[in-house]
Amino acid sequence: MDRFALVLVIIGALNWLLVGLFRYDLVANIFGGQTEPLSRIVYSLVGIAGIYCISFLFREREVHSKPDNVQ
């Protein structure tokens, strides 16, 4: 679930980069416009993934210990 959410957030970030630099909305272009149902679904999934990723800020990091034979 974490990776799926991160992939969606990255897609959204790249789309916003294109909008910011080139005024080009890739999602809208692929699905026929910003108001098309498929575009709205993608935008909604990206937004939900962004909200989910907020939880990453409050999670404890896993500590990986080195094996004994590694220096």
Q: pLDDT, tens digit, for every residue of 13-40?
A: 999 999 999 999 999 999 999 999 999 9
Please check whether residue 61 lies inside any domain of the structure.
no
H helix runs in 1-71, sequence order: 2-22, 26-31, 37-53
> What is the mean pLDDT of the segment spanning 54-58?
93
59 exposed, middle or buried (CB, 10 Å; 0-12, 13-18, 19+)? exposed
Does any domain span residue 35? Answer: yes
In a domain, 66, yes or no: no
Specify the range with the lowest mean pLDDT, choosing from 7-11, 12-16, 50-54, 57-61: 57-61
- Position 68, amino acid: D
Residue 18's domain comprises 2-55
Sorted by sequence, the CB contacts under 8 Å of residue 35 that are 6+ apart come out as none
Task: Give me the amino acid identity at 48.
Answer: I
**Does the residue 64 lie in any domain?**
no
Q: Determine, yes or no, domain membership for 47.
A: yes
> Based on the structure, what is the number of domains in the chain?
1
Sole residue written with tokens 């272009």: 29
